[in-house]
A and B are shown apart, each in its own frame.
Chain A
């Protein structure tokens, strides 16, 4: 059954992908990409990767699509006909694909528990992490503790993206007079509903943030969801209003603070005599130390991701508003 679902979803993905190639309407392309991401998330669930599915749905289908739509609002939605021939790209793609297919020939059978991938490093995570870290969600254990350095890097990547977007687009000025066109003034229903659901969304984000140790979720997903709540607010009530709630300057500090919070855990454990990010040293009991460590770094991740995503949205939204005024 699971295989069958897998196959169907993959087939749908393939169709979506092909359609993207040939469509010239970029709006449709972006929507199809959202669908593509969403289908991918479904596949991830089907393949037992719930955390990843969660993230893909929130990030790939959510934030990415919003940003792309924002860009389209500025650049126009038609792709123009290009003149150059497509034979060379086809050849390149064909060769690359052929190489990959060649590589798959020696691959272990799909889903076989005896594959080397399941035999070498992973068993320790599965068998010992509940004892060593004390968390039921192994993905969180690996993410935050065993490979905590990767995650620090990832937070820094997000931070770097913020730096890039800020330097490219700038941010809306705080306290500027409200632009007439901003927000959806006439949509009374929308405004009411938005007010209604924003707080549950933030609540949900907090749940995801702190429940990540036990179920799917964690700092990333929480940050993205919280950012989505404020993006909704900004969409419905206008960018200046949102900026008045949480200003870009404050978000910038938040983003930096999140990274620093994460790193400070590492430095604290260095101070305690361990290696960088060695949570065992944080408390007398190693497992408790792991708990504290993971809690704090997840918080750091959540703060940074939230601040960065929202700030990036501000930057794009500001551009759209500016072009609307013009």
Chain B
């Protein structure tokens, strides 16, 4: 029981990641693929932040009376990763806009038919 209590957080996060991953793989619509990618990444962020948590700790900003702080390092990493994520999202969406203009559709199976792309 203790084991479950200690780990349920990670398990749900894994489930979330896989939700995102599944959307990326199966989505036929490119926008949805990007959404899936974001869900996937966001879930990974939760994993990192979960690692950083210290029960009974406070946010890593020096406050009087607090002795136990959560680990600031994962926070820093995820700050970076979030920005990286939005950069990728922007590029992906820009590509989608162009694809729409070039092909008239953003459904993967439809433009696959139009070009014999490899």
- Beta-carbon contacts under 8 Å, B34-89 to A: 34-36, 38-39, 42-43, 45-46, 49-63, 68-80, 82-89
Shortest Cβ distance from residue B13 to the other chain A in the assembled complex, whole angstroms: 8
Contact present for B46 and A43 (CB under 8 Å): yes
- The answer to whether A117 and B7 have CB atoms under 8 Å apart is no
Of the candidates B55, B58, B59, B97, the one whose C-beta lies within 8 Å of that of A319 is B97
Contact of A154 among B15, B56, B84, B93 (CB under 8 A): B84
A196 adjacent to chain B (CB < 8 Å): no
A325 an interface residue at 8 Å Cβ cutoff?
no
Q: How large is the interface on B (under 10, 10 to 19, 20 to 34, 35 or more residues)?
A: 35 or more
**Chain B residues whose C-beta falls within 8 Å of the C-beta of A242 in the assembled complex:** none
Say yes or no: B109 contacts A82, CB within 8 Å: yes
- CB B9 to nearest CB in A, in angstroms, measures 5
Q: Are B86 and A60 in contact (CB under 8 A)?
A: yes
- CB-based contact A164/B91 at 8 Å: yes
Range for the number of chain A residues in contact with chain B: 35 or more
CA distance A40 to B16 in the complex (A): 11
Asked, given contacts A104-B11, A315-B94, whether A139 binds B60 with beta carbons under 8 Å apart, the answer is yes
Give the residues in chain A near B21, CB-CB below 8 Å.
93, 96
Q: Is B115 an interface residue (CB 8 A)?
A: no
Give the Cβ gap from A262 to chain B, nearest Cβ, in Å: 14
Report B7 CB to chain A, min CB distance, Å.
6
CA distance A192 to B90 in the complex (A): 30
A215 to B58, CA, bound (A): 13
Instruction: Write the nearest CB–CB distance from B1 to chain A, whole angstroms.
Output: 13
The docked-state distance in angstroms from the alpha carbon of A18 to that of B36 is 11
B50 touches A52 (CB 8 A): no
Contact of A89 among B14, B26, B76 (CB under 8 A): B26
- Does A161 touch B at the CB level, under 8 Å? yes
CB <8 Å contact, B97 and A93:
no
Task: Tell whether A175 is near chain B: CB-to-CB under 8 Å.
Answer: no
* Chain B residue at minimum C-beta to C-beta distance from A86: B26
**Which one, B2, B18, B31, contacts A93 given CB within 8 A?**
B18
Does A168 belong to the interface (CB within 8 Å)?
yes
Contact A138 B34 (CB under 8 A): no
Question: By CB atoms of chain B within 10 A, which of A20, A83, A150 has the most?
Answer: A20
CB distance A139 to B53 under 8 Å?
Answer: no
Residues of B within 8 A of A6 (CB): 9
Q: CB distance B26 to A100 under 8 Å?
A: no
Q: How far is B89's CA from A96's CA once the two chains are assembled, in angstroms? A: 23
Contacts of A71 in B (CB 8 A): 31, 93, 96-97
A201 to B68, CA, bound (A): 34
Q: Is A295 an interface residue (CB 8 A)?
A: no
Q: Chain B interface: which of A7-15, A248-256, A285-293? A: A7-15
Q: Which residue of A lies closest to B25 (CB)?
A: A89
- The interface residues of chain B lying within 8 Å CB-to-CB of A111 are 53-55
Flag A98-141 by CB within 8 Å of B: 1 or 0 each.
00110011010111110101100110011000100000111101
Contact (Cβ within 8 A) A96 B53: no
Whether the pair A117, B71 counts as a contact (CB closer than 8 A) is yes
Among B9, B12, B88, B107, point to the contact of A80 (Cβ < 8 A). Answer: B107
User: Digit string of A47-73 for contact with B (CB within 8 Å is 1, else 0)?
Assistant: 111111001100110011001101110
Q: Do residues B75 and A79 form an inter-chain contact, with CB atoms below 8 A?
A: no
Hey, which chain B residues are within 8 Å of A161, CB to CB? 86-88, 90-91
B55 to A33, Cβ gap below 8 A?
A: no
User: In the assembled complex, which residues on chain A have CB atoms less than 8 Å from the CB atom of B10?
Assistant: 104, 107, 110
CB nearest neighbor in B for A118: B71
Asked if A168 meets B94 with Cβ closer than 8 Å, knowing A72-B31, A97-B14, the reply is yes
Q: Which of B20, B82, B89, B95 contacts A55 (CB 8 A)?
A: B82
Q: Can you list 6 residue pairs at the A/B interface with Cβ under 8 Å?
A: A44-B45, A51-B79, A59-B86, A68-B35, A138-B69, A143-B80
The 7 closest A-B CB pairs, nearest first, are A82-B28, A161-B87, A109-B6, A111-B55, A17-B19, A136-B62, A48-B70
Binding site for A on B (CB under 8 A): 2, 6-23, 25-32, 34-36, 38-39, 42-43, 45-46, 49-63, 68-80, 82-91, 93-98, 100, 106-110
